[in-house]
Amino acid sequence: MPLITGFSPATSPTLKALVHGLARAAPTSDPPQPELVTAALDKAAAAHGWLPDERRRANHDRYARHLIYADPRGRFSVLMIVWAPGQVSPIHTHRVWSAVAVCQGALTETVYDRIKSKKAPVATKNQTHIAGWSRFYPAKTVIHRLANRNPDNTISLHVYGISAAQVSTGINVTFGETPNPPAY
């Protein structure tokens, strides 16, 4: 997944602050300090106008993932996801630590549990998260699905404890079919 051309910590003070905060939170490839990860995401999500306009448009066939930063040491990658109305992720868990923040709009998160008597995970909780919400997820701890159930586009930031080279294949373990796979 290529980086957005011309968009870097050198050209965006908000991205620079986000990257600095994430580097402090994850000084090694070990699990980071969750409260520092979400603090960095919260500041970036609260800032307005820093995400590139040309990448704020939705892909109406599938949600659009844009790599906005790749840590040169491979500790983490930062993606911006643009969700058109009605778009949903597959039911999934993450192989690596991750964090998400809603920048614009709202995401509905459905959380699932594994029940031994059932093949597929079972939905246990639905919650809508509005702009300004963030959460950290340790690796392989939560099975969930994210969806834009709103009439307007939603934009979210996602940080994964993985190198950019592994973003397309190394993050998710999915359950069942993929309703509208991401565009890269």
Per-residue model confidence as pLDDT tens for the chain (184 residues): 556 556 677 788 999 999 999 999 998 877 899 999 999 999 999 997 787 777 788 888 888 888 889 999 999 999 999 999 999 999 988 889 999 999 999 999 999 988 776 778 889 999 999 999 999 999 888 999 999 999 999 999 999 999 888 887 777 778 876 555 555 4
Residue 154's CATH number: 2.60.120.10
Q: Which residue has the tokens 């969806």?
A: 147
Residue 162, domain member (yes or no): yes
Residue 161 belongs to some domain of the structure: yes
Task: Quote the tokens at residue 43.
Answer: 């500041």
Q: What is the pTM of this model?
A: 0.88
User: Helix axis angle, 13-25 relative to 34-46, nearest 10°?
Assistant: 170
Task: Say if residues 125 and 112 touch (Cβ distance below 8 Å).
Answer: no
Hey, what long-range contacts does 29-37 have (CB within 8 A, 24 or more apart)? 29/73, 29/74, 29/75, 29/161, 31/97, 31/138, 31/139, 31/161, 32/76, 32/97, 32/161, 34/99, 34/136, 34/138, 35/136, 37/99, 37/136, 37/159
Domain-located, residue 183: no
CB 73 within 8 A of CB 100: no
At residue 163, the pLDDT reads 87
Is residue 184 included in any domain, yes or no?
Answer: no
Q: Is residue 5 situated within a structural domain?
A: no
pLDDT of the residue at 120: 81
For the chain, give me the number of helices (H) and strands (E)? 3, 10
Quickly count: other Cβ atoms within 10 Å of residue 26's Cβ.
22
How many domains does the chain fold into? 1
Could you tell me if 95 and 171 are in contact, meaning their C-beta atoms sit under 8 angstroms apart?
Answer: yes
Q: Is 180 a member of any domain? A: no
Could you tell me if residue 60 is inside a domain?
Answer: yes
Is the residue at 53 inside a domain? yes
Beta strand pairing call for 98-104 and 91-94? unpaired
In terms of residue numbers, what domain contains 66? 13-175
